[in-house]
Amino acid sequence: MSKAVKIFLAISAAVILFLGSFSGGFVSAMLLKQTNGLPFLKTDSLVPSQTEATQSATSSSQSSSDLQVLFQPFWRTWDLVHNIFVDQPVDDTTLMRGAIKGMLESLGDEHTSYIDPDLLKQESMQLEGEYEGIGAWVDSSGEFLTITSPMPDSPAEKAGLKPGDRVMAVDGEDMTGKDGNYVLSKILGPAGTDVVLTIQSEGAEKTFDVTITRSKIAVPSVESKVLDGNIGYVQISTFGDNTGAELKKALKDLRDQDVKGLVVDLRYNGGGLLTAAVDVGSQFLKSGVLMYEEYGNGDTKELRIRPGGLATEIPLVVLVNKGTASASEIVAGAIQDMGRGKLVGETTYGKGSVQNWVEFDNDQGAVRITVARWLTTNKRQINKVGLTPDVVVEINEENYKAGTDPQLDKAIEVLQEAIQQ
């Protein structure tokens, strides 16, 4: 991946990114991979180079001498840590990254953060439709990372992991109460390397160790099939580099089977590339503004739908829930605002901001900084509010255990009513 500035719409809450469920045989979850970052659109013109940024900061805020005075406490602390801290030697890279993290955290924006090199690599691979890991769907909403399902023919499946297995430790390190992102960073790694997971199976008291050899995992972002009643079903799990092409292929296949209506499942879709959001939205909408971006200086930018979509006339229902975020909310919001189809499910996450992702030289990771907020087609602000579905349907633990999906059932019912009109 080139050293480039990328704009991305992302969701950073682990509870959203790693929740998992099953729907009609299709997995509605994120993969066992780091998904903290995600979506981005290359746009070098929006962010200055490091030299330009330094010059701009110096000229627009404080003089060079003022900055020297301002940063005296920082460098004084740096010297003190190196000279008198009890555990020597200290690692300069760790100190540098910690300083960047602290600076960004002080802004009070959950989506502005530092991404270390390992996680940056995994996030970039995810958007390319592949990653290096063990190949499992997971749930990180509990005290331990839990396997929702191993992917077919994956290292996780070959190692015997099963739904409900809890990851108690990774390579001997206890993962009790650890953040889901941290656990994932320990499980992920280069293809061909081994990771030892300490597993506690569902309902069991004893644990056991399993050694899994990581591999490169190819991940389709679009799945489709025909449901009873000749209803087309399309699940979009993320918005990556290949999502637009995958969706076009799926829609062509469904069209060839002469489906009467279409259910688009965006549940647990935490976002993705902004370009992919335009690609997806343009398949279902004829024309108009998909979304607006509002910047801190008052400027507004609109992203428009491209003509020529394959599914602009067919009756449509969109499934959403609390894991529907960012780029997926852009698509769902436009469909709702334009009256193209109804949303069924639960209120969405409410990720209504845009970040610049700037990758550092020399493999030092990246920073993502919120630069704008986005509005729906009708200029609704959904940040921390979300989209309210036209038809609210809750789903609970009993449904998961029974293998039922009342949200999908209701979506089919609503769609059949639309087909008959």
Q: What is the pLDDT of residues 162-171, one digit of tens each?
A: 988 999 999 9
Tokens of 184: 């994932």
How would you classify residue 326: left for phi > 0, otherwise alpha for psi between -120 and 50, otherwise beta?
left
Q: What is the pLDDT of residue 122?
A: 66
Q: Is 307 a residue whose pLDDT tops 80?
A: yes
Strands 261-265 and 316-320: parallel
How would you classify residue 204: left for phi > 0, otherwise alpha for psi between -120 and 50, otherwise beta?
beta
**C-alpha distances in Å from residue 329, one per residue of 231, 238, 315, 374, 404:** 23, 12, 20, 10, 25
Q: Look up the CATH number of domain 130-218.
A: 2.30.42.10
Q: Which of 1-5, 48-52, 123-127, 400-404 has the lowest mean pLDDT?
A: 1-5
Distance (Å, whole) CA 393 – CA 407: 6
Q: Look up the CATH number of domain 22-37+220-420.
A: 3.90.226.10
Q: Establish whether 60 is a catalytic residue.
A: no
Distance (Å, whole) CA 174 – CA 177: 9
Other C-beta atoms within 10 Å of 365: how many? 17
Task: Work out the average pLDDT over 309-336.
Answer: 96
pTM given for the model: 0.73
Query: Which of these is catalytic: 28, 215, 237, 355?
Result: 355
Beta strand spans in 33-181 (E) = 41-42, 113-115, 130-133, 136-139, 145-150, 166-170, 173-174
Q: Which residue has the tokens 């499910």?
A: 345
pLDDT tens per residue across span 353-371: 988 888 999 889 999 899 8
Query: Which of these is catalytic: 28, 326, 328, 353?
Result: 326
Query: Which of these is catalytic: 351, 353, 407, 410?
Result: 351
Q: Establish whether 6 is a catalytic residue.
A: no
Tokens of 415: 């769609």
Q: How far is CA 383 from the centre of its chain?
A: 16
Please choose, from the candidates 237, 335, 321, 235, the residue with its C-alpha nearest in 3D space to the C-alpha of residue 283: 335
Q: What is the pLDDT of residue 61?
A: 56
Q: What does the domain layout of the chain look like in residue ranges?
A: 22-37+220-420, 45-110, 130-218
What are the DSSP calls for 142-158, one per residue?
SSSEEEEEEPTTSHHHH
Q: Establish whether 351 is a catalytic residue.
A: yes
Strands 215-218 and 342-345: unpaired
Q: Are residues 395 and 404 in contact, defined by beta-carbon separation less than 8 angstroms?
A: no
pLDDT tens per residue across span 62-109: 677 888 899 999 999 999 999 999 999 999 999 999 999 999 999 999
pLDDT tens per residue across span 13-56: 222 222 222 222 222 222 333 333 333 332 333 444 444 444 44
**Terminal Cα distance for the chain, rounded:** 49
pLDDT tens per residue across span 262-273: 999 999 888 888
Distance (Å, whole) CA 393 – CA 364: 45
